[in-house]
Amino acid sequence: MGSIKSTHGSVKIMKVILTGATGFLGNCILRLSCPWDIVPWSRSMRSIEGVDCRVVDLYDSNAVNAEIALEKPDWIINTAAITNVDFCEEKHLIARRANVEIVSSLASACRAHNVGLLHLSTDYVFDGESGPYEESQSPHPISHYGELKLESERIVLNDLKHGIVVRTMWLYGYTPNARANMITWPLDALLQGNGVNIVEDQWGNPTYGPDLACCLSELCRRNAYGLWHVGGGSFLTRHQQVREMADFFSLDASLVNGIKTEELGQSASRPLISGLITSAVEKKLDWYPMSFKDSLNHLIRCSDFKNRYPQLVCGRG
Ligand SMILES: NC(=O)c1ccc[n+]([C@@H]2O[C@H](COP(=O)([O-])OP(=O)(O)OC[C@H]3O[C@@H](n4cnc5c(N)ncnc54)[C@H](OP(=O)(O)O)[C@@H]3O)[C@@H](O)[C@H]2O)c1
C-alpha cells in the first residue's frame, strides 16, 4: 500500500477508487482540484460530473476483487451507503447488506491487494446525550443506521492495517446532481415564499461537503490511519443553521419555524446534543474546518450554485 503510481511534475500522484460517486460526497470528491488519479465507481451511471465512471456491483465480491486487481489503486474511498436513517430502521436486512456487508467485502479485497481503505461513518454512532464528542468517547447508537455504521467502522479499524474511518455529520453544499440537503431544500422553499419546519432541539456542527472532501484527500495523502472526527467549524442547531442561511441570503427568516424532533414522528431516533470535536484532525493535518458563514461565502462563488440560484448571488459572488 502507498506505492506511487505516477508523478505530476514534482508532485506524487495517488490513485484512488471512489465508491458512491453519484452521491453528494462522491460529487464533492470528484470536484476536488487535487493531483490524484481518481476512478469513480457507480452501480448504474456511466458518467458523473463529466467524468467516465466504472459500473461495479459492490455486492459482487469477485467483481470488486477483479477491478481492484486491475486498477491497483493506493486507496479506496468508500462513500457508498444507504443514508436514509428511517429506511434503515425499517429495512434491516437491506440496510445491513449495503452498510456492513459491502464494507466487509471491500476490506477483504483491500487486504488481499494491499490497498488502503478510507470509510465514512457518522455521529449517529453516539446517543446525543452529551455531545460534542471526541474520538476517544464510547459510542452508543440509538438507531439501526448508527449500529450498522459502528459495525462497519470496526471492520475497517480492527481488520485492516491501512484503514481510515472518518466520522462526519450533517453534510451540506450544492452539486447539480446530488440529492437535496439542509441548504438546498429550505432554500428552494424560502425562495418560493413557503415556510419550513426545522428542528430546534438537534445540535451539531454541519459539514461543508467540499471542505470534507479536501480533508479526506489529505488524510489519504498522509496515510493517516485510524479514526478521525471531521465536522464543520460552527456548532449550532439545525434551526439556527437554516435561519443563518436565510439571513445570509436576505430571505425571510421568519418563515423558518422551529419544531421539536418528536413532532416529526420519524421511525429512527436522532441524537439530540451531538457534534464532532475536530481538534485531533486539526493537529494532525494543520487543517481547520470552515465556519458556516465562510462556507456560504465559498458557495456563492461556485459556478453551479450561481447558475442554479442567480437571484441569490447577484452582486455578491
Ligand atoms: N449526508 C450526511 O449528512 C452524512 C452524515 C454523516 C455521515 N455520512 C456518510 O457519508 C457517506 C456519504 O454520504 P452522502 O451524503 O454522500 O450519501 P448519498 O448522497 O446518499 O450517496 C450515497 C451513495 O451510495 C450509493 N449506494 C447506496 N447503496 C448502494 C449499494 N447497495 N451499492 C452501491 N452503491 C450504493 C448511492 O448510489 P445511487 O446513486 O446509485 O443510489 C450513492 O452514490 C456515507 O457513508 C454516509 O453514511 C453522511
Distance 315 CA to ligand 1 centre (A): 35
Could you tell me if residue 82 is left (phi over 0), alpha (psi between -120 and 50 degrees) or otherwise beta?
beta
Any residues with Cβ below 6 Å from ligand 1, and which? Answer: 20, 22-26, 43-44, 58, 79-83, 98, 120, 122, 168-171, 178-179
> Which of ligand 1's atoms lies nearest the C-alpha of 22?
43
CB atoms within 10 A of CB 310: 10
Nearest CA to ligand 1 atom 18: 23
Q: Are 39 and 26 in contact (CB under 8 A)?
A: no
The total domain count for the chain is 1
In this prediction, what percent of the chain has a pLDDT beyond 90?
89
Distance 89 CA to ligand 1 centre (A): 16
Could you tell me if residue 299 is inside a domain? no
The string of pLDDT tens digits covering residues 75-108 is 999 999 999 999 999 999 999 999 999 999 999 9
Distance 174 CA to ligand 1 centre (A): 15
Distance 86 CA to ligand 1 centre (A): 14
pLDDT at position 46 is 81
Q: How confident is the model at residue 2 (pLDDT cuts 50, 70, 90)?
A: very low
Distance 99 CA to ligand 1 centre (A): 9
Cell 465536522 belongs to 231
Residue count of the chain: 317
Distance 251 CA to ligand 1 centre (A): 30
Could you tell me if residue 315 is inside a domain? no
Could you tell me if residue 249 is inside a domain? no
Could you tell me if residue 263 is inside a domain? no
Q: Beta partners for 203?
A: 237, 273
Among 34-48, 70-84, 102-116, the minimum mean pLDDT is found in 34-48
The string of pLDDT tens digits covering residues 250-275 is 999 999 999 999 999 999 999 999 99
Going by C-alpha positions, the residue among 283, 220, 224, 284 that lies closest to residue 12 is 220
176 DSSP assignment: T
Distance 25 CA to ligand 1 centre (A): 8
Could you tell me if residue 308 is inside a domain? no
pLDDT at position 120 is 99
Cell 495517488 belongs to 14
Q: What is the dihedral of CA 187, 88, 267, 196, to 10 degrees?
A: 0
Distance 253 CA to ligand 1 centre (A): 30
Please spell the DSSP secondary structure of 214-267, one letter per residue. Answer: HHHHHHHHTT--EEEE---S--EEHHHHHHHHHHHTT--GGGEEEE-GGGG--S
Could you tell me if residue 38 is inside a domain? yes
Nearest CA to ligand 1 atom 26: 80
pLDDT at position 5 is 41
pLDDT at position 9 is 54
> Which of ligand 1's atoms lies nearest the C-alpha of 124?
6
Nearest CA to ligand 1 atom 24: 80
Tell which one of 30, 78, 83 to mutate to probe ligand 1, the residue whose CB is within 8 A of the most ligand atoms: 83
Could you tell me if residue 185 is inside a domain? no
pTM, 2 dp: 0.96
Q: Domain of 101: which CATH number?
A: 3.40.50.720
Report the distance separating Cα 310 and Cα 300, nearest Å. Answer: 9
Report the distance separating Cα 84 and Cα 64, nearest Å. Answer: 24
Report the distance separating Cα 208 and Cα 235, nearest Å. Answer: 13
Structural domain of residue 48, as residue ranges?
A: 6-180+206-235+275-293
Nearest CA to ligand 1 atom 34: 80
pLDDT at position 213 is 98
Going by C-alpha positions, the residue among 32, 31, 28, 23 that lies closest to residue 41 is 23
Distance 83 CA to ligand 1 centre (A): 5
Segment 162-167 shows an average pLDDT of: 98
> Which of ligand 1's atoms lies nearest the C-alpha of 119?
45
> Which of ligand 1's atoms lies nearest the C-alpha of 123?
6
Report the distance separating Cα 202 and Cα 134, nearest Å. Answer: 18
Going by C-alpha positions, the residue among 171, 166, 147, 146 that lies closest to residue 156 is 166
Q: How confident is the model at residue 45 (pLDDT cuts 50, 70, 90)?
A: confident
pLDDT at position 51 is 87
Could you tell me if residue 198 is inside a domain? no
> Which of ligand 1's atoms lies nearest the C-alpha of 98?
31
Would you call 94 helix, strand, or coil by DSSP?
A: helix
